[in-house]
Amino acid sequence: MESAIGVLVSKFKAYAGSDGSSDTLSRDEFRSLVTLELPSFVKNAGDPTAMDQLMSSLDENNDGELNFLEFWQLIGHLACKHGGFSQ
């Protein structure tokens, strides 16, 4: 489990580090991550409007960026769906 958690942390850092703060995902970084890393979990990754809505729904402090815990909420819901658990 720990190595799987490590993968998620290092992937987040890789994308978060592309521009601006390396602790948060900008809109572009978020889109790249979802498109390249979550192709089967997020079906409409190619739809910019859907991605903007998804990001806004996660951006709890409305700073236009996703910090790790905000991002973690998305992964949790995707994992929940993937596992067939009720949300």
Using the rule CB under 8 A, is 69 a contact of a second copy? yes
Residue 25 region by backbone torsions, left for phi larger than 0, else alpha for psi between -120 and 50, else beta: beta
Structure tokens at 38: 């979550």
Considering the rule CB under 8 A, would residue 68 count as an interface residue with a second copy?
A: yes
The identity of residue 52, as a single letter, is D
Within 13 Å, how many C-alpha atoms sit on residue 14's CB side? 11
Q: Does 41 bind a second copy (CB under 8 A)?
A: yes
Q: What's the closest the beta carbon of residue 77 comes to a second copy, in angstroms?
A: 8
Asked whether position 50 contacts a second copy by CB under 8 A, the answer is no
- Is there binding between residue 13 and a second copy (CB under 8 A)? yes
